Amino acid sequence: MGFFGGIVLKDRNLPAGLLTKPEKIGELRFSAGKKLVKKRNLAVYLSGSITDLFTEDYKLPLNHQEELILDMYTRYGEKFIRFLDGYFVIFVYDIKRGEFFIFNNRYSNTFCYYYLSDDFLVFSDMIKPLLKLTPNKEVNKEVISLFLNSGFSFSERTPFKHIYRMIPGFYLKSKKGKISHVRYSGMEFNRRPVKDVPRALEEYERLWVDAIKKFTKYNKTGNLGSALSGGLDTSWVVLAASKAFDKPVHTYNCYYDFTLFNEIRPASYVTRKCKGKFHKIKVSEEDIDLWPEIIRAAEEPVMSSSVSIYKMIREAGKEIDTFLTGDGGNNIYHHLYPVGEIHRYIHFLPYFVRKAMYEIIDFTANLTSWERLWELKYAFRPFSYKNPYRNFYKNLICYRHFSPEQRDKLLNPEFHEEFDEEKSLGYIPIRKESFDNDLVDNRFVHGNMEYVSTFQEKFVKKFGMRLFPPYQNKKIMDFLCSLPFNLLFRANSLQKLTNKANKMHFQKLSLLRYFPKSFVYKTGQPFDQPFHGWLQRRPEVVRLLFERLKRRGWYNNDYLDELYREHRRQRQHKKILCQLQNHGYRIMTLLALEIWCMEFLDRDPEKETQRMPLEEYLKIR
């Protein structure tokens, strides 16, 4: 059981029947699988585990960590949270001061949701219980637009109006009926030359092994597993896990009928080297029938790659209780360096020149299948706006989904509301003077903590596991954010612009201590799925989807017809892994959004639909 509670902000009671037999302390009403821990005028609840302390004044206990929280809060007040690391959410009710806190951890986006009105604050570990407070299920149009832009929402707002999420590195404070939010953690950059690289490599490995040891110890892991693509990120995760854990590590790899997307051989090789247990999981076009189940678990529209991730995690749940991933590695190693190089050359150019340059690249890319040119086109895109730094991240990451111009055509005017980055709680500015570090910050926080990890956290929870992406560990993050850029990647200017750099250089140096050059310097595949190929094999799903979209009333039907015609003409390339040329991602995004509407707007989300082919599901009225 999770948790469900509320606190009164004004002289009113919580809605009748909202909580069944809750604990009552002052203005707080609380219900969970375990009781609040009380001491003098304080009450504390901990969901999750603290796995590290950044102070010598206390020792971290394996059990009853609430006692530690009470002692540290008594000594440090609300600043105690700065000394903790782990994956948790903590509630502290200071009865004497009349203050209530929700402390989220540094990394997670799904540990706590809350409904906020002028009269009360209600919180839960799930969205569904909070829907009792929103009988009309009014949608947040800005969040819907953001999902169509990028396939996820990097915002404290959920798709439902008045329902919010606790975002990474923040805590909420309620005092005298007023709500405030405090950011206590973020990425800290302190890049400096490394004089002794071999010693730095040893320290890097020690940090990884220590992080995994602590997580598995304090979460009492019985069996450990990891996603494994065979790339640099996950190979290092599995290697470190094999050194940190005293049992063989289970590894999981997805493969497809479309061989261009497969990496079974390197994944199997890494598993053997690390003396683990390898599991391969086939994912095909039939598995898109899992979408309703996936979206019920996530409670939100989900990113397209969730099909493979969900199936992998479901299979892993049969063997393990803790699931590792390599997500975030390419982000913190600055895989967006081509964007940084473009900025270096053109940030001083006037608007009309930047716009003309983008139009030339755009025209040329549309004439070719060369993936690097398509990537350059989308990397250049944010600079084609008059003020490129405003909403930069949102404009950058729309490349596989719907750009602002495409959303103008797609959405009916009465439904189209644009999301503004600068008005979001977790806004991370991108500035001219610190452009590359700001880009890493945005990509790692928004593109990893608030994107990939969001849905993985929901999936592992459904199958009774815990998730740990070790790149999301403060000590590892601080270490990598101290490395100079020439240890992150090596390239001349042309190689940077064409995305041909020696990427993740320091990671490769680490792997070379255990793997041969032929493996470390191989050309890896991105974690991708053949969406367009799947949709080609199930054309009736696409036809029925577009019929439903027209009935939904949110969309411009003429543009839907144009999109559908273009999709039918497009083909999955057999030799070139370039998904930017087809509408596979866009249609999967529309499919996820429509299924979310069906599950959460059109019917009672508590009542699960029986699994059936999407050809039948999409006919449900």
Q: What pLDDT is recorded for position 516?
A: 95
Answer yes or no: is 507 within a domain.
Answer: no
Residue 331 pLDDT exceeds 80: yes
Q: Does some domain include residue 78? A: yes
* Same domain, yes or no: 424 and 394: yes
Tell me the mean pLDDT in the region 458-477.
Answer: 97
* Proportion of the chain above pLDDT 90, given as a percent: 76
Position 319 in a domain: yes
CB atoms within 10 A of CB 602: 14
* Residue 526, pLDDT score: 56
Q: Is there a single domain that holds both residue 56 and residue 151?
A: yes
Domain identity same for 366 and 427: yes
The three-class DSSP label of residue 449 is helix
Q: Quick: pLDDT tens for 253-293.
A: 998 887 767 788 999 999 999 999 999 999 999 999 999 99
pTM of the entire predicted model: 0.95
Residue 137 and residue 85 share a domain:
yes
In b/e form, how buried is each residue of 268-282, taking b as 16+ CB within 10 angstroms?
Answer: bebbebbebebbebe
Task: Decide if pLDDT at 200 tops 90.
Answer: yes
Which pLDDT does position 486 carry in this prediction? 95
Q: What is the pLDDT of residue 377?
A: 86
**Residue 399 pLDDT:** 80
The average confidence (pLDDT) of the chain is 92
Q: Which of 289-293, 466-470, 586-590, 607-611 has the lowest mean pLDDT?
A: 607-611
Using the predicted structure, report yes or no on whether residue 426 has a pLDDT greater than 80: yes
Has residue 524 been placed in a domain? Answer: no
- Residue 316, sorted as left (phi over 0), alpha (psi -120 to 50) or beta, turns out to be alpha
Looking at the 3D structure of the chain, how many domains does it have?
Answer: 4
Domain final position from 417, 437, 457? 437
Q: Quote the pLDDT of residue 376.
A: 84
CA torsion through residues 579, 325, 476, 2, sign: positive
CA dist 70 and 59 (Å) reads 14
Please list, in sequence order, all residues whose beta carbon lies within 8 angstroms of the beta carbon of residue 51, skipping any fewer than 6 positions away: 60, 85, 86, 87, 214, 215, 217, 218, 219
Is residue 519 pLDDT above 80, yes or no?
yes
Would you state the structure tokens that stand for residue 473, as one six-digit string? 């560990």
Relative orientation angle of helices 371-380 and 351-365, to the nearest 10 degrees = 160
Same domain, yes or no, for 571 and 607?
yes
Q: Quick one: pLDDT at residue 50?
A: 98
pLDDT score of 534: 86
* DSSP 3-state percent helix, strand, coil across the chain (nearest 5): 45, 15, 40
3-state secondary structure of 461: helix
Residue 93 forms beta bridges with which residues? 43, 100
- The answer on 175 and 27 residing in a single domain is yes
Task: Identify which has the larger pLDDT, 483 or 528.
Answer: 483
Is 17's pLDDT higher than 60? yes
What's the pLDDT at 573?
A: 61
Angle at 142 between CA 137 and CA 148, to 5 degrees: 100
pLDDT at 85 over 80: yes
User: Are residue 275 and residue 299 in the same domain, yes or no?
Assistant: yes
Q: Binning pLDDT at 50, 70 and 90, where does residue 15 land?
A: confident
pLDDT at 362 over 80: yes
With a CB cutoff of 8 Å and minimum separation 6, the contacts of 578 are 369, 370, 371, 374
In a domain, 188, yes or no: no
Question: For position 87, which CATH number holds?
Answer: 3.60.20.10
Please tell me whether residues 474 and 419 are part of one structural domain: no
Least confident stretch, 164-168, 194-198, 229-233, 390-394:
229-233
What pLDDT was estimated at residue 569?
A: 87
- Pairing outcome for strands 84-94 and 42-53: antiparallel
Do 306 and 391 lie in a common domain?
no
Give the full edge-to-edge strand order of the sheet including 3-8: 23-25, 28-32, 3-8, 120-124, 113-116, 163-165
- The bridge status of strand 250-255 relative to strand 466-468 is unpaired
pLDDT of residue 135: 81
Residues 112 and 80 reside in one and the same domain: yes
Under the banding of pLDDT at 50, 70 and 90, the label for residue 577 is: low
Amino acid 501: pLDDT? 87
Residues 608 and 593 in one domain: yes
> What range defines the domain where residue 377 resides?
338-437
Domain end call among 159, 183, 207: 183
**Do the beta carbons of residue 192 and residue 291 sit within 8 Å?**
no
pLDDT tens-digit map of 94-148: 999 999 999 999 999 999 999 998 889 999 999 999 999 988 889 999 999 999 9
Do 417 and 456 lie in one domain? The reply is: no
Residue 375 has pLDDT above 90, yes or no: no
Determine which of 201-215, 298-312, 411-425, 448-462 has the lowest per-residue pLDDT on average.
Answer: 298-312
Any domain includes 599: yes
In a domain, 417, yes or no: yes
Domain boundary among 406, 437, 468: 437
